[in-house]
Structure 1
């Protein structure tokens, strides 16, 4: 009996010192592993993150406020070898995680007006450690627009993604395979032409650091045909009608034609003004309307001068001016619009 007790005591004394440290070591190892996963995959080198923004559709578009609201997908892809696994041992070809369970890059939309709305987020890891981040989002974005060529303008709508960590920690790359738009994406009054994406570096003068950015540009072209039919052609007809005074010798008729043309142009402008962008600079269509006003006013002045020449018995001079004005005024009108077109292209 005494020998049995000695054997049991010897067994426990040998077992406990050896195995208790092993258990403690395993727990510490698990804590260290969890802690490391919460850090960047490679702390010695910058983590490269491929970014893609895919447009589903536009919700709103305000060219005056230079803003637009869209919903789409945000794609992020990076490599994390710590998450690699053997699919033959796990019986799965990919693993899914929740936000907070693994490291994810700290990024933001730089030109968003408020916090973006997120419908859902998917995190999937492939056997080689490639991590795929997919987010369905909605956001109101600001993007500078130039309406000087309105209504023949083209705009670039930008969505800018920036890493909150400096470029020494995170480098953003453009994933062109995940940049684009759905076939049924639609923007009223505009045609979606193409997309382009590129990375760039922003240098912060305040923080004296450099940050990596991803820029997605959506190129859109305005449908200008409605403005040609509803604005340019009617005003062109009005100005052409006013030029009939160059063939008429009746002061009363010429006065009616000239004043009627001016009143028609003013009334027409009142009707279409709501369709024109309210900006602080002169657009192409504003320039055209202004030229029409100037030439109608010149016609009114011409009518008065011609009548004065007739009263002064200077009919020959009046006829000579008529013959010159018949080709000179339309020519100057055409040149004025060519100058306007050239100015809008600068």
Structure 2
């Protein structure tokens, strides 16, 4: 055996000889049972502040406060300590194990959980956590949409061992919470059973939700109004003399090119979804009316070339008075459909 082999053998034997025996299961680290029933954990989570809400990937970033309260008779003390409360280090007593079901990334805890127990065995644990969470968004009404931001918290213990109940005092949003482009409305919370594997045990799941309303002013003035004005530009083509092909075609072409360029310019601020939003439909309505204007101008000049000037003038006059009411009706129907 070489020198290095001998050294390796000695180190291995030393490690084996010094290894402690397997410790028995610590009863205090198992979930408590109160009067033979599963431990009841009161859970509360609320948002301290938003970092952002991202419509493109349907997610939001928040910092929140998580608190758990339960009763464990094993932590009761006959003699009071300062204020009758004992602080425990994480891992020294049993605490509920929870996780964030819809977290896109590993949540960041700002510090170790603060665990305190009073002399009667009432235990509380709280921590500040930041994370990025996924949430399905219905953006069909964009930018007049209202969304529900949800944080789902699951447990590692099934309902036969542990139950959850909502702490109503913590169903709220911090009064200083703020997020750009959104108005924060009401918060709600509920507990519902969750079955992760079909046919297996159900686990309690806590669902915290906050309703937010998008502030649509930016999109109205910077997106909807310009799209509307660019579409109305094509209406000017019906006010030229029917024989003036050049200005009519130029007007329709300029409006169409401007619409295309403007849609490319605002693309960064619009969500990428598989369905049409209100803004998408508004833009398509504009494209449709500008294209219809170009087709009408073409038809007018075909009639002129065939010597049907009276017919060309009637068509132009009809289009002149029909364009705006028809466009207004289409936009109005789109708006009503979005808001209903």
Q: TM-score, normalised by structure 2?
A: 0.84
Of 237, 241, 246, the residue aligned with 2:233 is: 241
Equivalent-residue separation in structure 1 for 2:233 and 2:248 (angstroms): 11
Of 279, 292, 299, the residue aligned with 2:286 is: 292
- Given that 1:67 and 1:140 are in contact with CA atoms closer than 8 Å, whether structure 2 keeps it comes out as yes
Map residues 258-269 of structure 1 onto 2, 5 A cutoff.
258-269=252-263
Superposition RMSD in Å: 2.4
Equivalent-residue separation in structure 2 for 1:52 and 1:202 (angstroms): 18
Q: Give the C-alpha shift of residue 177 in structure 1.
A: 1.1
1:96 aligns with 2:96: no
Equivalent-residue separation in structure 1 for 2:270 and 2:105 (angstroms): 28
Q: Give the C-alpha shift of residue 332 in structure 1.
A: 2.5
User: Which has the larger helix fraction?
Assistant: 1
Structure 1 gap ranges (5+):
1-30
Of 38, 42, 54, the residue aligned with 1:50 is: 42
2:144 alignment partner, SS class: coil
Q: Give the C-alpha shift of residue 86 in structure 1.
A: 5.3
Show CA shifts across 1:13-45 (max 9, x none). xxxxxxxxxxxxxxxxxx99x944323221621
1:39 aligns with 2:30: yes
Q: TM-score, normalised by structure 1?
A: 0.83
Map residues 1-346 of structure 1 onto 2, 5 A cutoff.
35-42=26-33, 44-85=36-77, 89-90=80-81, 92-120=83-111, 121-206=113-198, 208-249=200-241, 250-344=244-338
Task: Between 264-273 and 229-238, report the one with greater CA deviation.
Answer: 264-273
In the alignment of these two chains, the number of paired residues is 314
Taking a change above 3 Å as real, the CA distance of residues 154 and 244 of structure 1, as seen in their structure-2 partners, is same
Equivalent-residue separation in structure 1 for 2:177 and 2:321 (angstroms): 49
Equivalent-residue separation in structure 2 for 1:234 and 1:118 (angstroms): 45
Q: Give the C-alpha shift of residue 202 in structure 1.
A: 1.1
Q: Give the C-alpha shift of residue 336 in structure 1.
A: 2.4
Equivalent-residue separation in structure 2 for 1:276 and 1:115 (angstroms): 28
Structure 2 gap ranges (5+):
1-22
- Given that 2:32 and 2:38 are in contact with CA atoms closer than 8 Å, whether structure 1 keeps it comes out as no
Structure whose alpha-carbon radius of gyration is higher = 1
